[in-house]
Amino acid sequence: MNPQFEHLYEALSKVDGYIYPNEIELSWSILIVLYPFITGLVAGAFILASLERVFNVKALRPTYVIALLTAFAFMLVATMPLIFHLGQPLRAWEIMITPHLTSAMAIFGFVYLWYLMVVLLLEIWFDYRADMVVWSKDAKGLKKWLYKAFSLGINDASPESRKWDDKLGYIVTVIGIPSAFLLHGYVGFIFGSIKANPWWSTVMMPVIFLFSAMVSGIALVMLVFMVLNYVRRQKIDMLCLDTIAKYLFYIIIIDFTLESLDQIHRFYEAEESFEIISLLMSGKLFVTLLIFQILLGMIIPLITLGTLQFFKPKEKIRQAIYFVTGLLVLFGIFFMRWNVVIGGQLFSKSFYGFTSFKLSLIGPEGFLMASIWLVIPFLILAFLLWLFPPWKKTQHEHLPAE
């Protein structure tokens, strides 16, 4: 065979039916799947923290700082999959500083900077400022200099200054709740506003992305909380763990309902794209959608968490169930993002054919690269927990809402 045609034959072997030439290769790969997945973890973790700070759910106090640090660690990496997807991202920073109010991606630059600099950084600083002042007196080496630098020269650790920190931190948290909604709701808006793609074009997409983000973020914090206590050989606060699982159960119900309504609406309308989407769901996406996302990521967690609301087995059994359920939820939400991003590119806009996608092991958008960007946030989180250990913080009551 002529070497010039080998690539063409290889590409055509992935095609079923009739598609346009520019649809053979997918434009967005696993790095674009990671982007909404990671931002969803950020938004969900912050919303869990706000339940304790703003809505005064006292049972969640042991996870408040852990949720903040988790959101911050993942927020630092949120843009990296996008930047590496560009290939030559030398001008990527311009999206952060160039006003362009008619571009959804340009708006993201402002939302990202606002959420990172004004919400997460400020709230963590107000929460840790007085503790850093105290720790800097006893710490040695790198920690001592970091505490002095991060306290910004403000050495007042009096009860009155702590009250001001708490008041200002509360205000930041209140501002951060709609900011978290905007951060991840906009991701769904980008997909939902693409009218040419019937798999993406739905007004429900931002809402579905938002509630699925809450599900994944709460599940992640629950797992981090359990692992952290296990590593430190501390007894897990079961009231806190049961409360997290309860809220996770409620949000999964809402998320599952919204996704079901979206699919029912598609079936009821039965537009011209109905047949190709039905074939997509029963064919190319059968395993990732029906098995991974719905069965493993939604139905089984719903049944297990729902059962535990009425029947309380021994603590060890509940802990094991919560741990496995959290992993299943994260697994399901990841494949929800996969099915949206990859699934929307598998069928032709002609509605008469499909292409295929095979994830490579290595390369700029391969499995190893994606794994790296999933591991890095956990390394950052480990560093933050070493530098700002929640278990060494001075315990004090957060001010209630006035």
Q: What are the pLDDT digits (tens) for 378-387?
A: 999 999 999 9
7 assigned to some structural domain: no
Neighbours of 66 (CB within 10 A): 22
5 assigned to some structural domain: no
Q: What is the domain extent for residue 379?
A: 15-389
Q: What are the pLDDT digits (tens) for 7-29?
A: 656 666 667 777 777 777 788 88
Q: How far is CA 289 from CA 16, 49, 208, 305, in A?
A: 20, 30, 15, 21
Q: What are the pLDDT digits (tens) for 106-163?
A: 777 778 878 877 788 889 999 998 888 888 888 888 888 999 898 888 888 888 888 8
Distance CA 76, CA 87 (A): 19
314 assigned to some structural domain: yes
322 assigned to some structural domain: yes
184 assigned to some structural domain: yes
> Taking residues 206-234, what's their average pLDDT?
94
Number of domains in the chain: 1
Q: What is the band of 299 on the pLDDT scale with cuts at 50, 70, 90?
A: very high
Distance CA 269, CA 264 (A): 9
2 assigned to some structural domain: no
19 assigned to some structural domain: yes
- Side-chain-facing half-sphere of 101: CA atoms under 13 Å: 0
Entry pTM:
0.91
323 assigned to some structural domain: yes
Q: What are the pLDDT digits (tens) for 59-76?
A: 999 999 999 999 999 999
